[in-house]
């Protein structure tokens, strides 16, 4: 699976205020597949996933569990 983190101003604001990470993925993947992949890859717990299709691309908003801070993971990914 090709997960590409998004580092726009809006995405950074969501990391800081809502504990949400934003990724760009292929449209063929379901929410369950994306959730399992992210949890296994980063060893974190996810509360909720929302998806949006814009300009023929699937954008995934991943709300992390309160025990896992999005800002810590964003730092590891080089977004912050």
CATH of the domain at 72: 3.30.70.330
pLDDT computed for residue 79 by the predictor: 85
Query: Scanning the structure block, which residue is given the tokens 């590409």?
Result: 4
Provide the strand spans (E) within 1-80.
4-5, 20-25, 46-54, 57-64
In DSSP terms, which residues pair with 57 in a beta bridge? Answer: 54
Contacts from 9-12 at CB under 8 Å and sequence distance 24+?
11/79, 12/74, 12/79, 12/80
Model confidence at 80: pLDDT above 90: no
Across the chain, mean pLDDT equals: 94
42-70 mean pLDDT: 94
Model confidence at 1: pLDDT above 90: no
23-48 mean pLDDT: 94
State the pTM of this model: 0.91
* Nearest of 36, 38, 45, 42 to residue 64 by alpha carbon: 45
**For the chain, what is the domain count?**
1
Instruction: Identify the domain containing residue 35 by its residue range.
Output: 4-77
């Amino acid at each position: 699976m090709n997960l590409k983190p998004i580092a726009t101003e809006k995405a950074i604001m969501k990391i800081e205020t809502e504990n949400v990470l934003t990724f760009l993925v292929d449209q063929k993947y379901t929410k369950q597949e994306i959730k399992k992949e992210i949890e296994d890859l980063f060893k974190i717990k996810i509360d909720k996933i929302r998806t949006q299709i814009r300009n023929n691309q699937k954008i995934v908003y991943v709300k992390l569990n309160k025990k896992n801070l999005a800002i810590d993971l964003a730092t590891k990914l080089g977004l912050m």
